[in-house]
A and B are shown apart, each in its own frame.
Chain A
Amino acid sequence: ETGVTQSPTHLIKTRGQQVTLRCSSQSGHNTVSWYQQALGQGPQFIFQYYREEENGRGNFPPRFSGLQFPNYSSELNVNALELDDSALYLCASSTYRGGNTGELFFGEGSRLTVL
């Protein structure tokens, strides 16, 4: 069974640039969610995708967008990067069978630094 994998593991961007982070879900999972974890904070929900559609979003501006592909992998895109976007971005996959989402399985994260 392959776990959740994320790429890249580290990257550095400058203010105003755009970034794409990628996530491969754990085998058999149909839901993917993204979290932002700033230093010293708990993970904060960005959005969740199920069946290639966004079905939940946290308090993040529209410049944070995502995609889920037919193989359940996902991308997180952030436009017009700001210094405060510097954080660890976590992807988590799970199985939704109706009712609430099951256990989340997290990747190791992509650490983004914005200069």
Chain B
Amino acid sequence: AQRVTQPEKLLSVFKGAPVELKCNYSYSGSPELFWYVQYSRQRLQLLLRHISRESIKGFTADLNKGETSFHLKKPFAQEEDSAMYYCALSGLQAGTALIFGKGTTLSVSS
């Protein structure tokens, strides 16, 4: 079964601390992995995708096929990073949907 698991509902850190939002997936094939973010009173938007191998707003995520994980990391959290983060996967086929995890709320306090 295709599934995305985000084990933490809430992650609270202090400003400047490292952040790791966990994401594990199960998929029988080669998925594409994404992180979407929703800031307060804003719409859901793409943060990054694994094929881009980019660092966006200081966040990176590496696809580990052996561990079926796609954890989101940032070395130094900022207060403006506080948001809801969703990990999602998509099969590499036309018409395939994004399968989302339940999301992790990141709270960064000073």
| A contacts, CB < 8 Å to B | 3-4, 33, 35, 40-45, 48, 50, 55-56, 58, 90, 96, 98-101, 103-109
Contacts and interface: CB of A to CB of B under 8 A. Distances in A.
Interface residues of B, number: 24
A109 B86 CA distance: 16
Interface in B27-64: 32, 36, 43-46, 49
Contacts of A104: 36, 46, 98
A20 to B, nearest CB: 21
B97 A58 contact: yes
A96 B43 CA distance: 21
Contacts, number: 63
Interface in B1-20: 4
Chain B interface SS verdict (over half) = strand
B97 A48 contact: yes
B93 interface: yes
Interface of B: 4, 32, 36, 43-46, 49, 86, 88, 90-103
A55 B98 contact: no
A100 B100 contact: no
Contact of B86 (A3, A42, A58, A103): A42
B100 A43 contact: yes
Contact of A56 (B4, B36, B95): B95
A43 B101 CA distance: 8
B100 A108 contact: no
B70 to A, nearest CB: 14
B100 A42 contact: yes
Contact of B95 (A43, A50, A90): A50
A33 B86 contact: no
Contacts of B98: 33, 35, 43, 45, 104
